[in-house]
Amino acid sequence: MQKEKLYGKTLNELIAVTKRVRLPGFAAKQIADWLYKKEIFSVDEMTNLSKKMREVLSTDYEIGLSAPIKSAESTDGTKKYLYKVLDDKYIETAYIPDDDRSTICVSTQAGCKMGCLFCMTGKQGFQGNLSSNEILNQFRSLPEFNKMTNMVFMGMGEPLDNIEEVLKSLEILASEWGYGWSPTRITVSTVGLKKTIKEFLEKSRCHLAVSLHSPFDEERRMLMPIQRTNSVKEILDIIRDFDFNNQRRVSFEYILFKGLNDTPKHIKELARILDGIKCRINLIKFHPIPGSEFQSPDNQAIINFKEALNAKGILTTIRASRGEDIQAACGLLSTLEQNKSKQP
């Protein structure tokens, strides 16, 4: 019988575990300490629990960490890791070092339901939600674990479509009994799901990034089918009504496609729809993916777009393209692995 994994459980869940196996209540906090403050790999290493307690616990439970099965390193230092999850699926995690900060980009689902036209993960279709164990294992089992300063939930999958496990992961990262990170070190990126965005805003204090990509209804629908049922207007209304404190950032991700969403008309409309929201726009150069006709704009066009938005009073930044030589576009590496495993 497979043992249940302890890593990825919240303190309340660990209290439930101690009750189930009849350990004293205080053991839950001790277990949390071992899981999130020390780097152990087995229950037997929890040496402040008695031998008997460890035996009882390890009958049904294990720590449950698993190392990445593959990695690729870019000439710019970015690394992509491939993890096996849900028995036979693959997900990607990126490690992005940059001067004094190191960011990990984690996945929250294997594949994705959202079907964004420019995304390789979207083309894989949905294969399953990751558990908080599988989300945080990407962080804990990364060779660079101890270097990490920031985390973005921007890998494969739509985080707010797996809200329960994402919120558990955020709780573990930001709680004093967990990793004790400031929520301002964490950003959750979403296409904008009205059903769960409020829950995320209310239950966490992490930064929010919304994938925008076009201010026009028709065009966004073509790029992102989610626009049909969850329009940007509805998402912006929720954001406008929410009381963000000064610490918390709202940003809009905007992938630039040459000749499609990079015109003066887009700049004007972006300024109109974002009016009254304290936010920034993060411009991203499109990374070509197989089978897509979209094209990358040249660097000067991106700079021009940024300056035009800045002139409209919208703080705009350009996300540096990283790891272009290692299948940087999210979903490429896992698609290759998936196809390989299907071959006879």
Residues annotated as catalytic (active site), given as ranges? 92, 330
Residues 6+ apart with CB under 8 A from 294: 117, 118, 257, 258, 260, 286, 288
Q: How far is the CB of 246 from ligand SF4 (least distance, A)?
A: 28
DSSP secondary structure code for residue 38 in this structure: S
Q: Within its chain, how far is the Cα of 54 from the centroid?
A: 34
Binding of ligand SF4 by 116 (CB under 6 A): yes
Nearest-angstrom CA–CA distance, 111 and 131: 14
- Contact range with ligand SF4 by CB under 6 A, out of 114-122, 268-276, 292-300, 306-314: 114-122
Binding mask 294-313 for ligand SF4 (x = CB under 6 A): --------------------
Binding mask 165-194 for ligand SF4 (x = CB under 6 A): --------------------------x---
Q: Are 193 and 161 in contact (CB under 8 A)?
A: yes
Residue from 8, 157, 192, 297 in contact with ligand SF4 (CB under 6 A):
157
Nearest-angstrom CA–CA distance, 106 and 237: 28
Residue from 112, 152, 172, 326 in contact with ligand SF4 (CB under 6 A):
112
Binding of ligand SF4 by 8 (CB under 6 A): no
Residue 158 vs 337, nearer CB to ligand SF4? 158
Nearest-angstrom CA–CA distance, 154 and 187: 8
Checking DSSP bridges between strand 89-98 and strand 101-105, what pairing results, if any? antiparallel
- Contact range with ligand SF4 by CB under 6 A, out of 72-80, 109-117, 212-220, 237-245: 109-117
Binding of ligand SF4 by 122 (CB under 6 A): yes
Nearest-angstrom CA–CA distance, 205 and 183: 6
Binding of ligand SF4 by 121 (CB under 6 A): yes
Q: How far is the CB of 127 from ligand SF4 (least distance, A)?
A: 12
The b-or-e profile of 43-66 (16+ CB within 10 A means b, else e) is beebeebeeebbebbbeebbbbbb
Residue from 57, 63, 94, 119 in contact with ligand SF4 (CB under 6 A):
119
Three-class DSSP category at 308: helix
Q: How far is the CB of 107 from ligand SF4 (least distance, A)?
A: 8
- Contact range with ligand SF4 by CB under 6 A, out of 7-15, 57-65, 112-120, 128-136: 112-120
Site residue total, ligand SF4 (CB under 6 A): 11
Binding of ligand SF4 by 105 (CB under 6 A): no
Q: How far is the CB of 288 from ligand SF4 (least distance, A)?
A: 15
- The residue with its CB nearest to ligand SF4 is 122
Which 184-243 residues touch ligand SF4, going by CB under 6 A? 191
Residue from 92, 158, 165, 262 in contact with ligand SF4 (CB under 6 A):
158
Q: Are 44 and 54 in contact (CB under 8 A)?
A: yes
Binding of ligand SF4 by 152 (CB under 6 A): no
Q: Are 75 and 325 in contact (CB under 8 A)?
A: yes
Query: Phi and psi (nearest 5°) for 317?
Result: -125, 160
| Residues paired with 252 in a beta bridge | 210, 281
Residue 114 vs 332, nearer CB to ligand SF4? 114
For residue 322, CA distances in Å to 77, 105, 107 come to 9, 12, 17
Chain residues that interact with ligand SF4, rule: CB under 6 A: 112, 114-116, 119, 121-122, 156-158, 191
